[in-house]
Amino acid sequence: MSDTDSLHEKILRLKEEKNAIILAHNYQRDEVQDIADHTGDSLELSRIASNIDCDIIVFCGVNFMAESASILSPEKMVLLPEVKACCPMADMVTVSGDRGIKNYFPGYEYTGGYRYPADFTLKDIKKLHPGVPVVTYVNTTADVKAESDICCTSANAVKIVESLDTDRVICIPDKNLSAWIAKNTEKEIIAWDGFCHVHDRVSAADADKARAEHPNAVLLAHPECRMEVLEKSDHVTSTSGMLRYAKESDATEFIVGTETGLMYGLKKENPDKVFYPLRKDMVCPNMKKTSLQSVLHALESETYKIKVAEEIRVPAKRALDRMLDVT
Ligand code: 13P
Ligand code: SF4
């Protein structure tokens, strides 16, 4: 029996014993996706976390995702196998200038390297635009969600903004997703200045190069890419939106403008089609931290427990529930 087989067996046995469910984001390592009960995009995983029947959720993704699961299902134990798996973009917006995240992740160290804008906070932007609702991407910390009117994901952002009865909307934290929303709505979008370092590194020149190399391929792009890339794409959608599109499309070649972890699901579901990464270095190091070993360790030691203080959880849940009600 190989090491991977025995790891698999141990994980499956413990999962059964502890009535645990493994959720994995579409960017996780291939072997982690394979051991998961459900894979999906942020919206799908939030929905599953809010409805699933189990005692423990092992969330293979980054911290804001596990936090959302705990906000939606506080009665369950939510485990994040790698405590340092964070999303640098989520850390680009804070409520009051203090890193609220430290309250929820004992031992958490800020590793993203970004603090942008340096001293401007969510409270500051709300003060600048009184009465304007705040639409918050799920890639944010719980305390930011708690200060927001409604959440969105890349799968539903335009629909969420359209659901609001105001002409102006504040969108945080991703400037690229905000630009995409602005292009698809009549409403005025007041955007924060954050970005995903994995998607924002791609340029129009990269899109041109990939097109030249694969002239028959359909170019798919995630809305976290810059507008100059989105404008050159055939279809802009979330990670699971890309999985659906590739399956339903008659095309046989695709250029994939998102984190390369999605290539695994795309190839698995479409063995007769060909997929090329838009750039080979579209790799999120935080998404890759989780391994089969860390999943096993999480189940054995019941670490790292993600729990959000009630005074934050309740208003954060309101913003997430409002989103889930719209879509
Ligand atoms: P999706 O919701 O499209 O899966 O995206 C999540 C994410 O982190 C993108 O970088
Ligand atoms: Fe955050 Fe980007 Fe990684 Fe997604 S890919 S978790 S947005 S850093």
Mind listing the pLDDT tens digit for each residue in 66-81? Answer: 999 999 999 999 999 9
For residue 199, give the ligand 2 atom closest to its CA.
2
Ligand 2, residues at Cβ distance < 6 Å: 62, 87-89, 139, 196-198, 224, 259, 284, 286-287
- The predicted pLDDT at position 101 comes to 37
Region of poorest pLDDT, from 122-126, 133-137, 149-153, 269-273: 122-126
pLDDT at 94: 87
Predicted local confidence at residue 261, as pLDDT: 98
Per-residue model confidence (pLDDT) at position 119: 65
- Report the C-alpha gap between 114 and 192 in whole angstroms: 14
Q: What is the pLDDT of residue 264?
A: 98
Do 60 and 36 touch, CB atoms closer than 8 A? yes
DSSP 33: H
CATH, domain range 3-86+287-308: 3.40.50.10800
Alpha helix (H) ranges present in 149-201? Answer: 157-163, 175-183, 197-200
**3-class DSSP assignment, residue 255:** strand
Return the pLDDT at 114: 45
The first and second tokens of residue 136, run together, are: 């918050």
Fold type of domain 202-277? Rossmann fold (3.40.50)
Domain with CATH 3.40.50.10800 in the chain: 3-86+287-308, 90-198, 202-277
- Determine whether the shortest distance from the Cβ of 224 to ligand 1 is under 6 A: yes
| Residue 127 in this model has a pLDDT that exceeds 70 | yes
Measure Cα distances from 327 to 152, 159, 321 in Å. Answer: 9, 8, 10
- The distance from CA 244 to its chain's CA centroid, rounded to whole angstroms, is 17
Q: From the alpha carbon of 62, which atom of ligand 1 is closest?
A: 8
- In the chain, the largest separation of any two C-alpha atoms, in whole Å, equals 63
Nearest protein Cα to ligand 2, atom 3: 284
Q: Helices 63-72 and 42-51, interaxial angle, to 10°?
A: 30
The whole-model pTM stands at: 0.93
Average pLDDT, integer, range 250-254: 98
CA torsion sign for 87, 93, 97, 98 is negative
pLDDT at 93: 87
The fraction of the chain above a pLDDT of 90, given in percent, is 83
pLDDT at position 118:
55
Say how far apart CA 193 and CA 115 lie, in whole Å: 11
**C-alpha pair distances (Å), 129 with each of 122, 126, 132, 140, 294:** 11, 5, 6, 20, 44
**Separation CA 282–CA 260 (nearest Å):** 6
If DSSP codes are grouped into helix, strand and coil, which group holds residue 171? Answer: strand
Mean pLDDT, the chain, integer: 92
pLDDT in tens, 22-34: 999 999 999 999 9
> Which pLDDT belongs to residue 290?
98
Find residue 78's DSSP bridge partners. 57
Q: Which of 136, 23, 8, 13 is nearest to 76 (CA)?
A: 23
Residues 84-117 pLDDT 10s: 999 988 988 888 765 443 443 344 444 444 444 5
- Check residue 106 and give its pLDDT: 44
Of 3.30.70.260, 3.30.1490.190, 3.40.50.10800, 3.40.50.300, the CATH number of 90-198 is 3.40.50.10800
Confidence band (pLDDT; 50, 70, 90) for 296?
very high
Closest residue CA from atom 8 of ligand 2:
87
Q: Which residue has the higher pLDDT, 195 or 55?
A: 55
Q: Distance between CA 224 and CA 41 in Å, rounded?
A: 14
pLDDT value at position 182? 96
Nearest ligand to the CA atom of 198: 2
Of the ligands numbered here, which is closest to the C-alpha atom of 45?
1
- Sequence letter at residue 161: V
